[in-house]
Amino acid sequence: MKELKIGQEEWSTYNRNNIHLEGNAIVREGTILLGLNGEIHIGENTVITQHCHIDGPTTIGKGCIIGPHTVMVTHDHDYDNTSGMIHNSPGPVKPIKIGNNCYIGAGVTIIQGVTIGESSVIGAGSLVTRDIPSGVVAYGNPCRVKRKRGERDDQSATD
């Protein structure tokens, strides 16, 4: 596990005890790891690039790339409770899981409870609200599986 040095590293965290980086995992500058409500685990050889935000319980496997400005939010607010301020109505916390060898593009948002299977690719700008299986290319808002990774069904895509 890598020792955190808040204020001396390029990245910041609220609860250092909940942040665990394995091996030579890298977190680049501007990324915020809050560690609220549970632990954040980042697998060896994974790179979290610049200006990402991960709030709570999240497990990212080995050898992943997380593109810049990607957001992972693991909690919600109780928006159907119409009495009082939404700020005082916490909702459920649901962990996010990302398998080994995934490539998450730039500016992706992943919401609470989502699991992304091993070796999958999530296109830039996607909003991931449902689980994504292993070994696929998925993108869009909402994010949907488009094809298996390594398989193309049309010639135009390779032109």
Ligand X SMILES: CC(C)(COP(=O)(O)OP(=O)(O)OC[C@H]1O[C@@H](n2cnc3c(N)ncnc32)[C@H](O)[C@@H]1OP(=O)(O)O)[C@@H](O)C(=O)NCCC(=O)NCCS
Nearer to ligand X, 91 or 103 (CB): 103
The one catalytic residue in 20, 53, 75, 77 is: 77
Beta-carbon-side half-sphere exposure of residue 72 (alpha carbons within 13 Å): 30
20 as an active site residue: the answer is no
Omega of the bond prior to 142 within 30 degrees of 0, cis?
yes
Query: Which structure tokens are listed for 93?
Result: 């916390």
Q: Pick between residue 16 and residue 146 the one whose CB is nearest to ligand X.
A: 146
The CB-of-126 to ligand X minimum distance in angstroms stands at 6
> Which residues are near ligand X by CB under 6 A?
49, 65, 67, 105-106, 121, 123-125, 137, 139-140, 146-147, 157
CB 22 within 8 A of CB 41: yes
In angstroms, give the least distance from the CB of 149 to ligand X: 9
Task: Check: CB of residue 121 under 8 Å from CB of residue 103.
Answer: yes
Measured from the CB of residue 87, what is the shortest distance to ligand X in angstroms?
A: 33
75, 91 contact by CB (below 8 A)? yes
The catalytic residue positions are: 77
